[in-house]
Structure 1
Amino acid sequence: MTAEHEIVRVQLSERSYDIEIGAGIIPSAADFFAARTKISHAIIITDDQVRPLYADTIAAACTAAGMRTTLLSVPAGETSKSIAMADRLWNESLAAGADRKSVVIAVGGGVIGDLAGFIAATFARGLAFFQVPTTLLAQVDSSVGGKVGINLPAAKNMVGAFWQPQGVLIDVDVLTSLPEREYRAGLAEVVKYGVILDADFFAYLEANVDAIREREQKVLTQVIARCCQLKADVVQADERETTGLRAVLNYGHTFCHAFEATCGYGELLHGEAVSIGMLCASRLAESMNRISAEITQRQFKLLTALGLPTAPPQVDIDQVMAAMQRDKKVEHGKLQFVLPSAMGKVELVGSVSTSLAKQAISDGQ
């Protein structure tokens, strides 16, 4: 593969699949799908913003390739990851004549990937599906690994499944159309990979801030490919989050999900909440003498240089703590956090005191 074109293989025995990363590859999406599974009926699920940008093009390509194509679109945003929207899509799929041979294609950001994947996992007891992620956040994180689901009003991603795609097609050119705020939000998950798994990658990000901010194609291809490889390594080792290894991917997310729930979904973009949450987790690790202040400082400097927020929102900390108690990582009422022990290494730490967790938030406000 060239520096502008990479393939990452996710090795999961009979559920293995390719992540293809390149520039200008959306027009050949139908070939990518057809090479991996026989498609007579394609159900493309997208949102109202992405539809005219990319989903219409993919739908036309699928039709031209001889596939019967159904295009379903939902309102953009986190609120579409709901029971009501899933119900609507199940019924629209049924009305379009979907059966067990239909294939779902998710074209959009993380919300669409999660929602469309959930439809694929549940309709007719499971349909094949593909991911075409169109945001940086989805490209480096949510499109890889098979986690799909919807939100309950009081808890994010609480209803869902593990359902691996047949393949993931990542076109870095789509990032040129991404609003600045959305693009920056995706960078938080990129930084996360460096902190949790790869100190050299973190240093690479520090050295290439300008190129990343300017969305340079070559650097982005390498950054996305490295993130996908790191995530693939984790998913291969712990596909269904049974050994605890996959929990490292939740660095900053216990704080992040609590901020999102307390502020109301959509107030903070997920990546923005991840940025703030990582620093809270790092301060918590510092207060427990697990790391030096320098590790928190490096994260703060890089996140700031990439234009991400770092201060917790001005919300009631007791409400945030209550939201944390609903986190999927809580066991028997005890808070658990993924905390760094060195740059490139994190661990799941249990029975963390509520007062230290509160302090980690207030110290950043």
Structure 2
Amino acid sequence: MRRIEVGGAGPAHRYEVRVGAGLLETVSLPQRHIALIHPDDLPAEFVARVQVALSPTLTVSVPARDDCKTIEVLGRVLSQLAAANLPRDGAVVGLGGGAATDLAGFVAASYLRGVAFYTLPTTLLGMVDAAVGGKTGVNLPEGKNLVGAFWPPRAVWCDTDTLGTLPPAVFREGAAEAFKHGLIQDPSLLPRVLAPEFRPGGALLEDTVADAVAVKAGVVTRDLTEQGERAFLNFGHTLAHALEAVTHHALPHGEAVAYGMHYAAHLGRALGGADLTPDTLAFLRWQRPAPLPRLSFDDVMPFMARDKKADADGVRFVLLRELVRPYLTRVESGVLKSEFAAWQAEVSQGW
């Protein structure tokens, strides 16, 4: 088992992430009153194992994936906690993928103006990204993650045994965030993510997951509320979130990130940076994301313009000058449009 420390501005923001096999049975919390939130497609055995370990006051099932990240679902879950009289010294536990832990964290941040929060991610995407860092929230029709709060968990347990139940496509989807961490900070992750041994039960699984978590842990320790460096974790996400929105979340997040990283590599090269398109294209060929619907630049640009990195002067992109040298910049609309056409011609060929 690996342990990764996440720091913060004070003791309330410091916590530990554990990565290893068989961790669901080891979960123990100091709170007596616990609300367990999980997606309705999670295997019943996982829910039962956590219920045995925690004896929750109430267990709340929510829709799977981004269908749970709505204002309507948020309101329903908050009402269930209130009806159960969950006290201020209680806790919310998010069990499942990244969408469920995003929702659970925002529930914890909002209920009684904030109660303790813990995460038990069961997907690769959840482990290396969503469960760590304290970003919580829900979506609006106008865009992804436009409503939320920074609310760090008290602890995170990443049980790698749960990854063995994922369909191969879902495992490969989650690898996008680990590959992104390699591009922006730890290049040793790049060959490991693409290696045959990086798979459920594989020799590279635990250390690769832990090292990907360590990248994010270091960044959020230095910049919890995204005043600077944390924005670099959004490499590829400006187009990714637009693709998710325009497809009404039919395109999974990790696949959208893979497409978005390749577009960002195109932009970085166009602005004089190193050509990293072979790396991002290699990942796309490994991941084999779902084909994109026919899209125009005008379809996605309104959503990119509402990206959370945008400011009063317009949309900004995280790009790479070269491997592990990210930066934040604005890009002229003409470059955005021409590189979108080049990117689209490349990804439309399939894998």
Deviation at residue 307 of structure 1 after TM alignment: 3.2
Report which stretch shifted further, 300-309 or 232-241. 300-309
CA contact (8 A) 2:262 2:277 kept: yes
Q: Deviations over 1:57-83 (max 9, x none)?
A: 2012212xxxx5211101212121011
Aligned alpha-carbon RMSD (Å) = 1.5
**1:8 match:** 4
Q: 25, 38, 42: which is aligned to 1:46?
A: 38
| TM-score, normalising length: structure 1 | 0.90
CA contact (8 A) 1:172 1:217 kept: no
Give identity over the alignment, percent.
Answer: 35
**2:347 match:** none
**2:204 counterpart SS class:** helix
Q: 328, 344, 360: which is aligned to 2:324?
A: 344
Aligned length: 342
Which residue identity does 2:45 align to in structure 1?
L
Structure 1: gaps spanning 5 or more residues: none
The answer as to 2:341 corresponding to 1:362 is: yes
CA distance in 1, matches of 2:293, 2:269: 21
Task: Indicate how the Cα distance of structure 1 residues 51 and 216 shifts in structure 2: closer, same or farther if over 3 A, else same.
Answer: closer
**1:331 match:** 311
Q: 215, 226, 237: which is aligned to 2:211?
A: 226
The answer as to 2:185 corresponding to 1:189 is: no
Which residue identity does 2:88 align to in structure 1?
R
Q: Deviations over 1:65-103 (max 9, x none)?
A: xxx521110121212101110110011011112110110
Which residue identity does 1:183 align to in structure 2?
F
CA distance in 2, matches of 1:106, 1:73: 11
**2:246 match:** 262
CA distance in 2, matches of 1:328, 1:338: 12
**1:342 counterpart SS class:** coil
The answer as to 2:196 corresponding to 1:210 is: yes
CA distance in 1, matches of 2:73, 2:103: 8
CA contact (8 A) 2:258 2:283 kept: no
Deviation at residue 222 of structure 1 after TM alignment: 0.6
Q: 213, 236, 250: which is aligned to 1:252?
A: 236
**2:149 counterpart SS class:** strand
Deviation at residue 111 of structure 1 after TM alignment: 0.8
Deviation at residue 315 of structure 1 after TM alignment: 1.2
**2:348 match:** none
Which residue identity does 2:282 align to in structure 1?
K
Report which stretch shifted further, 81-90 or 330-339. 330-339
Deviation at residue 356 of structure 1 after TM alignment: 1.1
**1:322 match:** 302
CA contact (8 A) 1:44 1:105 kept: yes
Deviation at residue 335 of structure 1 after TM alignment: 2.2
Deviation at residue 333 of structure 1 after TM alignment: 4.3
The answer as to 2:283 corresponding to 1:302 is: yes
CA distance in 2, matches of 1:51, 1:156: 26
Task: Indicate how the Cα distance of structure 1 residues 255 and 335 shifts in structure 2: closer, same or farther if over 3 A, else same.
Answer: same
Report which stretch shifted further, 337-346 or 244-253. 337-346
CA distance in 2, matches of 1:46, 1:185: 20
**2:86 match:** 98
CA distance in 1, matches of 2:33, 2:43: 19
Which residue identity does 2:34 align to in structure 1?
A
Structure 2: gaps spanning 5 or more residues: 345-351
CA distance in 2, matches of 1:161, 1:48: 24
Deviation at residue 306 of structure 1 after TM alignment: 3.7
Which residue identity does 2:286 align to in structure 1?
A
**1:211 counterpart SS class:** coil
CA contact (8 A) 2:197 2:203 kept: no
**2:259 match:** 276
Which residue identity does 1:229 align to in structure 2?
A
After the TM superposition, which residues 55-94 of structure 1 pair with which residues of structure 2 at under 5 Å, given as runs?
55-63=47-55, 68-94=56-82
CA contact (8 A) 1:312 1:364 kept: no
**1:112 match:** 100
Q: Deviations over 1:268-298 (max 9, x none)?
A: 0000000000000000111111113xx2102
**1:236 match:** 221
The answer as to 2:15 corresponding to 1:17 is: yes
CA distance in 2, matches of 1:305, 1:147: 28
| TM-score, normalising length: structure 2 | 0.94
Which residue identity does 2:203 align to in structure 1?
K
Q: Deviations over 1:235-265 (max 9, x none)?
A: 01111011x2100000000010111111112
Deviation at residue 163 of structure 1 after TM alignment: 0.2
Task: Indicate how the Cα distance of structure 1 residues 204 and 182 shifts in structure 2: closer, same or farther if over 3 A, else same.
Answer: closer
Task: Indicate how the Cα distance of structure 1 residues 201 and 181 shifts in structure 2: closer, same or farther if over 3 A, else same.
Answer: closer
CA distance in 2, matches of 1:323, 1:149: 18
**2:197 counterpart SS class:** helix
